[in-house]
Structure 1
Amino acid sequence: MADLVPDPDGAGQRAGALVVVAGVALLATALLAGAALAPDVGGAGAGETRETLVGSHGGGPGLHERGSVYLLDGRDIAWRAGDTDSYFDVTKLENGSVMAGFMQSGYEACGPYESPCAHTGFRVIDPNADSDAPPEIVYEYSFPVRTEKNSEVHDVELLDSGEFLVTDMDRERIFTVRGGTVTWQWNASERYDAPPDPTRTDWLHINDVDVIGDDRYLVSVRNAHQLVVVERGEGVVEVINEGDGTRGDPTLLRQQHNPQWLGNGSVLVADSHNDRIVELERTPDGEWRVAWEIYAAEGVNFNWPRDADRLENGNTLITDSLNKRLVEVNRSGATVWSYNTPEVPYEAERLPEGETVGGVSYADTDSGDDDTTTIGRQRDIPVLSFLLVVFQTGIQTPFWFTEFHVAVTLVSLVSVLAGLGLIVRARVRARE
């Protein structure tokens, strides 16, 4: 019966208003403090000359807006090709043109799907660097997909045979194509249990392929947390992070991107959902262990890093996607160069070398299992980490927006809703 007592003096409404104000003030204070106390990032090595080729996933909800390919000359954008929903892996070819995986909506030729639809595939872009003409697309190979999300071609390699080697997460395969005709393919269903229609679900998310030997390809099977070596004509001949066979141990690799084969039993990986860059080495018994790992640079934890290249100078170039930065670190983890990108980057290559097969390894193959080098590790809270990714991919929060700010946002939201509830209840009681 107490709930039916009138509130003629408006005490309930005032209490509700105070709770709302407290919730808003808490969030505002946390955000202002986060911005004010954020470390300086993206400015290291400002006076040094480096050429860096970048494939930009883009921005907006789902990161499918304002995709681009651009060349950084030092810290200036020398040229940029945009007007595409998303670009991914980028490679500079010997003739100076650039090859890039892409996804774009608005195509009329849609095959079995309703028009208009999205296409994915790869493009060759002439930057026209020696003229005043803007970059232009000189070649495109693409095909329609059911959905824009989790169906993209993320990587393409040009083989010595003249074929293009392509990843396809829509049908979950790698394949080669020449003159528009598929000349060979490996379907993941040869190893993994496939759903009835892979195009209707984000099944494996095959997102990278590299040539590591004659007809031998290193493939990133993201959702299985595995890297597999596929030999043309033989199928899978090696698995990194075997786990239970078809699913790896997520503490060793978790939804990784863009591995680089360093040779001599070492591989460098952007271990994306563990928010680290990791170098793995093969042990004498054939297992794989962590030899070197880094979780942060410039005082900021990595957030969904999706590329790491071991450079000729021995440093590591990292694409820290959700923090919207590129950062080059040395073996000790010290930052020697960094750059804030205008949109979410997918992959970057330092020119003229590009991503190499074989490189300086930080692993000591004679070391024991307790000799892992770990830099900048911080523990996270799984639920808040997941929500942080939702915030950052959905509304593009700044790099200093952390799990703490996610927690404060939730508390503030609950406070505002509770306060509004008190106000509404008080007004209802006042009318009775």
Structure 2
Amino acid sequence: MAPSFHVRGGSAAERQSNGDHHMNSIDNIARKDYDNPISQIQPDPTDRLPLRMPLNRGFSSASYQSSAPRAPLTKTEIRERIKQKYSGKVPGHVHWTKWMHTKSKNHTVAVIGEFVGTTLFLFFAFAGTQLANYGKVQEVGKGFSLANLLYISAVFGFSLMVNAWIFFRISGGLFNPAVTLALALLRALHPLRAVLLLIAQVCGACFAAYLVSVMYPTPLNVQTTLGEGVTIAQGLFIEAVCTAELVFTIIMLAKEKHRATFMAPIGIGFALFIAELVAVYYTGGSLNPARSFGPAAVLHSFDVHHWIYWVGPFIGTLLAVLFYRLIKIMEYEMANPGQDGDFENDPTMNPDHELARVVEERQAEVLEIQAIQQAGGFQTLKDSMLVEQPSVLGDQGVIGMAVEGVRAGDEVHVHRVRRGEEDLEAQWPATRGVEAPAAVAALEKRL
């Protein structure tokens, strides 16, 4: 059903003409409002909206294609829209719509999620620690019984597990500047996002410590200090090693995607639990600069060794990142494939896997090198190719060699890549003095 226009007086033809005129006016308004900045819209004397005309509230011409009945705007609403249009004011929903399609909105959501998640994680962890230390005068990290040690380790591990599972789809559920640094170094986080999340984590830790200090009747007793007899070097490396364990767990379970990624919070929570078991008695088991900073800031009491709880975790982060880089360079996926039963992320089963393509190219290159080696050398082949195609040799003596053969009918097409002569001769000492026809024939035989 086409929309009806209530136009006073005139014949049917005049009413139809007036209706068409008003439809065109609305189309013009819609195009100007959405195709041009509002600040550039100029009053148009041909724009006359009848106050009794039932308009779509969105001022969109596309809405007139619908047969659903539309509620007419009131005179007050129409006057307000005309006032906004011609006074140069931008309606509030326009700002909101534009902002909702910016990166700033995504950063804001992530920061809010990280702040709330860090607050909840550390609130329950601090509250459990406060309860474990109830009635004790010694600080965290000094004089713990085995029961207290297990209780504090468990409350930290399970609190991280639950809250990381809740917030990982919002902000990643990091809750730790050391983890944030690791993901930034691995380029899994944009530097700006990493800085914003780090600020949110520190603020969340302070707020969590403040909540525990005002909600519980006993004085806040969740600080991290070195245990009795623990040297600075020992405390530093205990924090570094335990943090490395936690960060590497997060990298392998959450950053590296696999079929069990959705269960990563379980492994991460248990990793923190294990690390706390061996660190709480000696250092307080921080493994998280924000966890140590929050209580110290609320109590206005920074221990002389507070720097350990920043430097130690960051050293552990670097250790975890360097080890991860090493095994990635050495293609750890090929060392023990198929362990997850995950076809998509198994390079030996999925030909579209990035590593599978790299391995295939390298296999073709190995065949080429072996063909040159079996033919007897390298120097003659270089001279022959220089005569046939001088461009294959650059200023550094780089030579193009066959890396892949594709047989099309009776013809073998040899594709060339550029590689250094010295590199080949260093890896294959026998590749000197080979004749070009013999090398190509050997390669064709293998292909």
Q: TM-score, normalised by structure 1?
A: 0.21
Identify the structure with the greater strand proportion.
Answer: 1
Identify the structure with the greater helix proportion.
Answer: 2
Larger Cα-atom Rg: 2
Higher-RCO chain (CA-CA 8 Å, sequence separation at least 6): 1
